[in-house]
Amino acid sequence: MGCSGLVYNRQGYGGSDPLQRPLMPRFMHGEALDVLARVLDAFEIARPILFGHSDGASIALVYAGSHPDSPAALILEAPHVFVEPVTVASIAAIRDSYRSTDLRARLERHHGSNVDLLFDSWAAMWLSDEFRRWNIEEYLPAITSPTLVIQGKDDEYGTPRQVDAIAGGVSGRVETLLLEDCRHSPHFDRREAVDAAVARFLEPLEIRG
């Protein structure tokens, strides 16, 4: 696409500094309204194409709904705008198997010494009674950026209700893509399809730089 890119790890993830305290119910709001806003400002990025996966896609939605003149486009993989029973059930299952399977070792390759605090805090927050009421649909009507929503039909953490809510809630142009034989990470499970869809989506926008 001729676009340069910036990829960053949130605190507690990858090579970033470890979490200083457990996640709070509005942790995605904090990432969108404080951290992401400061990252974009630091790199002097005024009109970003925000490409987020899972929690990252939700963070992109909160940012776009709070800065409607900023994003040039949104690409959202497996986003959440509310908590579903399937999400809770799947997170409970992986929490229970985290240390008895190879999951911890696989995550440790990406997150190093951060892995236990990060996973335990993330799982505890999503499984808490307080978080069941989490909902960011209020941000959708203010979003005017062209938006592409991608989700696997076999996503173990969400249903097409999430896609439908975004498609019906945002004010700008929206495209949706539901992929067969695809779980929660379309960029791994169906990478070629995701690459092609993103290129088709962005090409008419004539974004370069």
Q: Which residue has the tokens 């200083």?
A: 20
Q: Which residue has the tokens 């805090």?
A: 121
51 pLDDT higher than 90: yes
Phi/psi region, residue 183 (left: phi>0; alpha: psi -120 to 50; beta: rest), is beta
Instruction: Give me the pLDDT at residue 56, please.
Output: 97
C-beta atoms surrounding 102 within 10 Å: 9
Instruction: Give me the pLDDT at residue 49, please.
Output: 96
In angstroms, what CA-CA distances link 63 with 25, 70, 119? 17, 9, 24
When pLDDT is averaged across residues 91-103 and rounded to a whole number, the result is: 94
Instruction: Give me the pLDDT at residue 149, please.
Output: 98
Q: What is the pTM of this model?
A: 0.94
Instruction: Give me the pLDDT at residue 141, please.
Output: 98
Q: Which domains does the chain have, with CATH numbers?
A: 27-82+134-203 (3.40.50.1820)
CA atoms within 13 A on the CB side of 65: 18
Instruction: Give me the pLDDT at residue 175, please.
Output: 98
Q: What is the pLDDT of residues 8-37, one digit of tens each?
A: 999 999 989 999 888 999 999 999 999 999
Angle at 197 between CA 37 and CA 135, to 5 degrees: 45
pLDDT band at 207 (very low <50, low <70, confident <90, very high): low
User: How confident is the prediction for the chain on average, in pLDDT?
Assistant: 94
For residue 4 the two structure tokens come to 């340069």
Instruction: Give me the pLDDT at residue 102, please.
Output: 94
pLDDT band at 172 (very low <50, low <70, confident <90, very high): very high
